[in-house]
Amino acid sequence: MPRFRALLLIASLSLPSPLLSADEIALVGYSPSSSQTEREWEAKFRAIPDPANIREFMRRLSARPHHVGSPYDKDNAAWILARFKEWGFDAHIETFDVLFPTPKVRLLEMVEPAKFTAKLDEPALAVDPTSNQKSEQLPTYNAYSIDGDVVAPLVFVNYGLPEDYEKLDRLGISVKGMIVIAKYYHSWRGVKAKVAAEHGAIGCLIYSEPQDDGYTPDNVFPLGPMRNPEGVQRGSVMDFASSSPGDPLTPGVGATPDAKRLPLKEAKSITKIPVLPISYGDAQPLLAKLAGPMAPAEWRGSLPISYHVGPGPAKVHLKVEFNWDIKPVYDVIAKIPGSSAPEQWIIRGNHHDAWVNGAEDPVSGQSALLEEARAFGELLRQGWKPHRTIIYAAWDGEEPMLLGSTEWAEAHADDLRLHAAVYINTDSNDRGLLSLEGSHSLEQFINAVARDVEDPETKLTVWQRLQLSKIAQAKSAEERKELRQRADLRIGALGSGTDYTAFIDHLGIASLNLEYGGEDEQGIYHSIYDDFYWYTHFSDTDFVYGRAMAQTGGTSVMRLADAEVLPFDFVDFADTVQKYTEELERLLADRQEAIRERNQQLDEGVFKATLDPRRPTLPPPREDVPPHLNFAPLRNACDSLARSAEHYRQALSHRQAALSEVSAAWLRALNQMLIESERTLTNDDGLPRRPWYKNLLEAPGVYTGYEPKTIPGVREGIEQKRYGEAEQEIVRVAKALEAESSLIESAAQTLEQPTR
């Protein structure tokens, strides 16, 4: 079906009829009567969460530093376990033993042309009562940096992205044998270290630029929410995107006591060069002593200096050594067994470990999750019985790199592949708009949930507020038109950086990632100042967005757990895959055009003509124009998908009224097909050069980390100029999508068959 027609159908089918209020239309996957019952239970549920509880949970969990291996991390796990049990869950702690390095030596000094020793210390502030817990705080460092002791001239590399090094090439500057200094943001910090090493750097500093999260966006802490001159962003620099997240010594398997462990030297996800994060107070003296070309205009920040690239004359000595210890992570796992379909699992998780006190990251999300669980305890007492099994997880070790969730997912991979229907993740939570990311088969579902939660500030539904805000931010009339006319708001693809990664990328479990935020600036990320004082002064201070998050997360879990037919839908999915395909074709065409143009400019002498002899630059390299690729298999798969998705939606719609009359076996078979729908997008061989990542439709970018690449085999193939590989990947993805289409078609046919 052509795309336009599909869009029209979406609009006509899913917009509520004007004669029926939203409440009178049966929920997708529910018979009218069970829909009515579900709506009543959901309403009861959403009335329960109380901001005062969320506040109290945050106070308790963030009262002391609670990183992996710390006493309060274990204490929190035990406390969370007790709460789950108190609320009627079948709960336990599951422990894994993982590699978790902590610093032994951290030294950064400028040795030329002036002496300066970096403080590498965040001072306690009198107004902030937890900032003085010095003995329990992890020092500022980057976990999974390799040990190192290097002295070299410094080079400023902007955000340390591959394109930044291309600019350095044009300036004739190599980082070979140098120490680089990069700004935080715009990529996963581990990517900065990886790219620096790939270009021959021997050390990497990462600093928090005040233009990004210091004084430029707002006042600094404790006067305002932003990073003060001493504030440092700790964080993992594990190279997870090109290998795997989780324990570096047990890739692909759970880090159980008897697991086979790699020797440290063979761990692929440790950085190749030493890395250290620093504050802008420590960075300024170093940057001020760089000469060489001025940094390109868009590289410059808001320090009161002229940003030069170097190399040198600043020469720095960087020394880091770590305790390469094995530490326990404590995942708290709590279950409500399903009443009629216990073999189908709805999993809901948020991590509980932090870099220091972590009120915002992750306790804001963890506290809302606990309030959700408490509310379910209430509902259970009132007689609510979910059809499916609900599993709540408070993950440990997310900060070092998704240790707790990854090891659990790897340890239970077989069961999860059989039983897991959906994984719903949260992490931090703040004030503002609901951010929606996830599997596109859940796009319609999560849009519906967002239509049933009230925004605390505007009293609109969170869906309405999001739609109107997107209209306000839209950059074109076309975008606004789609926002006004498409039934569902598009949801983002999943990248990485939080605990859904193993579920969606490794196991092919349909996943969602939810978060409120966007209204408040913040510059305390991964510092000692991310604490209860900060959160209750500068974020969701009255915890009403914590309540909204509990309502959103809980409603999602209930509605998935109670539906007769899992509320997957494939029309938005098909539409989105079509969009990705068009993006890929445009990406290739744009590259072809850009390289053709650049070659022409080389022929015309444009680069010689624009050369300023006082600021010499090298012309860009001449490149072959990329070949055309055969996108037909993807196009055909998109067409199949659009047809089967439409067929499934209509079949479900016709069957919906009769869902209460069908047999359990029929339902189980149908739901099993739906559960398989995300698995079908995976391939056992995984993505090129990273077999742990098995989902062919989305993955964290090898050079982005947090940001997703959709249809990554093809997209990264084009981006990284492996055109032959891209063409093979088109075929592989198309096959998976054709299989997906067949599965959806089978589900549609099942819906049209007699039930017994």
Largest distance between two CA atoms of the chain: 84
Query: Which CB atom, from 262 or from 587, has the smaller least distance to a copy of itself?
Result: 587
Please report how close the Cβ of residue 644 comes to a copy of itself at its closest, in angstroms.
35
Q: Tokens 């002791």 identify what position? A: 149
Q: Which residue in 540, 528, 539 sits closest to 67, CA to CA?
A: 528
What is the nearest approach in angstroms of a copy of itself to the Cβ of residue 52?
Answer: 20
For residue 545, the minimal CB distance to a copy of itself (Å) is 12
Residue closer to a copy of itself, measured from CB, 206 or 290 = 290
- For residue 488, the minimal CB distance to a copy of itself (Å) is 18
**Cβ distance to a copy of itself smaller for residue 490 or 635:** 490
CA distance 151 to 227: 28
Measured from the CB atom, the residue of 534 and 648 that comes closer to a copy of itself is 534
Enter the tokens of residue 436. 């929606």
| Partners of residue 276 on adjacent β-strands | 205
Query: Smaller CB distance to a copy of itself: residue 215 or 703?
Result: 215
Identity (one letter) of the amino acid at 238?
M
Structure tokens at 256: 């159980």
* Residue 37 or 302 with smaller CB distance to a copy of itself: 302
Q: Which of 310, 122, 289, 318 is nearest to 206 (CA)?
A: 318
To the nearest whole angstrom, how small is the minimum distance from the Cβ of residue 539 to a copy of itself? 11
Which two tokens mark 293?
């070309």
**Is 469 or 750 the residue whose CB approaches a copy of itself more closely?**
469
Nearer to a copy of itself, 305 or 739 (CB): 305
Minimum CB separation of residue 207 from a copy of itself in Å reads 15
- What are phi and psi for residue 502, nearest 5 degrees? -65, -35
User: Which residue, 219 or 755, is less far from a copy of itself as judged by CB?
Assistant: 219
CB-CB neighbours of 514 under 10 Å: 24
Q: Which is nearer to a copy of itself, 141 or 534 (CB)?
A: 534
Q: Are 428 and 364 in contact (CB under 8 A)?
A: yes
Report d(CA 515, CA 540) in Å as an integer.
12
Q: What are the angstrom distances between the C-alpha of 693 and each of 235, 252, 416, 507, 586?
A: 22, 10, 16, 9, 25
Whole-angstrom distance, CA of residue 486 vs CA of residue 590: 27
Q: How far apart are CA 262 and CA 273, in angstroms?
A: 20
Cβ proximity to a copy of itself: between 263 and 304 the closer is 304
Which of residues 418 and 468 has its CB atom nearest to a copy of itself in the complex? 468
What minimum distance in Å lies between the beta carbon of 433 and a copy of itself? 9
Taking the complex as a whole, the smallest distance from the CB of residue 291 to a copy of itself amounts, in Å, to 9
CB of 593 to a copy of itself, least distance (A): 7
> How far from 314 is each of 105, 169, 286, CA to CA, in Å?
22, 20, 6
Residue 430 C-beta: closest distance to a copy of itself, Å: 12
Of the two residues 126 and 472, which places its CB atom closer to a copy of itself in the complex? Answer: 472
The least CB distance from residue 637 to a copy of itself, in Å, is 31
With a CB cutoff of 8 Å and minimum separation 6, the contacts of 728 are: none
Of 219 and 636, CB closest to a copy of itself: 219
The strand ranges marked E within 239-294 are 275-278
Amino acid at 629: L
Nearest distance, CB of residue 255 and a copy of itself, angstroms:
43
Nearer to a copy of itself, 22 or 460 (CB): 460
Phi/psi for 147 (5° steps) reads -65, 150
State how far the alpha carbon of 656 is from the alpha carbons of 14, 388, 676, in Å: 14, 19, 21
Cα dihedral angle (731, 712, 269, 74), rounded to 10 degrees?
A: -120
Residue 408 near residue 393, CB atoms below 8 Å? yes
* Sequence letter at residue 166: E
Of residues 457 and 752, the one with the C-beta less far from a copy of itself: 457
Unique residue bearing structure tokens 């088109």: 730
Instruction: In angstroms, give the least distance from the CB of 469 to a copy of itself.
Output: 5
- If the CB atoms of residues 608 and 756 are measured against a copy of itself, the closer one turns out to be 608
**Burial class of 48 by CB neighbour count within 10 A (0 to 12, 13 to 18, 19+):** buried
Q: Round to whole Å and give the CA distance between 155 and 53.
A: 49
Quote the CA–CA distance of 585 and 699 in Å, as a whole number: 19
We find the least distance from the C-beta atom of residue 35 to a copy of itself, in angstroms, to be 28
**Pairing state of beta strands 420-425 and 315-336?**
unpaired
Classify the C-alpha dihedral 616-621-622-626 as positive or negative. Answer: negative
Strand partners, 434: 516
DSSP β-bridge partners for residue 332: 93, 394
- Identify which of residues 152 and 588 has a Cβ nearer to a copy of itself in the complex: 588
Q: Which two tokens stand for residue 475?
A: 């950059």
Residues 6+ apart with CB under 8 A from 36: none
Structure token pair of residue 486 = 């498409």
Residue 673 C-beta: closest distance to a copy of itself, Å: 39
Cα distances (Å, whole numbers) of residue 169 to 177, 206, 469, 601: 15, 21, 41, 18
How far is the C-alpha of 461 from the C-alpha of 452, rounded, in Å?
6
Report helix, strand or coil for 129.
Answer: coil
CB of 521 to a copy of itself, least distance (A): 8
Could you list the residues that contact a copy of itself (CB under 8 A)?
210-211, 215-220, 224, 226, 294, 297, 300-307, 432, 457-458, 460, 464-465, 468-469, 471-472, 477, 480, 519-520, 593, 597, 601, 604-615
Least Cβ distance, residue 605 to a copy of itself (angstroms): 6
Distance (Å, whole) CA 465 – CA 462: 5
Q: What is the DSSP letter of 138?
A: P
Q: Give the nearest distance from C-beta 305 to a copy of itself in angstroms.
A: 6
